[in-house]
């Protein structure tokens, strides 16, 4: 499991986040930046672009992912 501010690179974003839980910043090979929510057992729960702007002068070959936060524990509701 990645700790906050740890970075990983790879070719398959879903595979990289499999088993991870938290909030991540992901940079696609095209340079697009995304905010990713990953829940344990689900890989990617939400993928949202930061903006339409591409990174200037930076073209990574693979996805780059950095963990930027932990998820708060979700409490179960009793019906």
Range of the domain at 62: 7-69
Q: What is the pTM of this model?
A: 0.75
Which pair of tokens denotes residue 43?
Answer: 């890989």
pLDDT of res. 33: 92
Task: With respect to residue 36, please indicate whether it lies within any of the assigned structural domains.
Answer: yes
Q: Classify residue 60: in a domain, yes or no.
A: yes
Considering the domain boundaries, does residue 1 fall inside one? no
Residue 38 counted as domain residue: yes
Alpha-carbon distance of 64 to 8, in angstroms, equals 6
Distance (Å, rounded) from C-alpha 55 to C-alpha 52?
A: 10
Which pLDDT tens digit goes with each residue over 21-53?
999 999 998 888 999 999 887 778 888 887 655
């Amino acid at each position: 499991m990645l700790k906050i501010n740890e970075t990983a690179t790879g070719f398959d974003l879903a595979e990289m986040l499999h088993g991870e839980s938290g909030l991540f910043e992901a940079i696609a090979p095209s340079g697009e930046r995304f905010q990713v929510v990953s829940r344990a057992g689900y890989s990617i729960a939400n993928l949202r672009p930061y903006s339409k702007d591409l990174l200037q002068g930076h073209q990574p070959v693979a996805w780059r992912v950095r963990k930027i936060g932990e998820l708060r524990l979700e409490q179960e509701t009793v019906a």
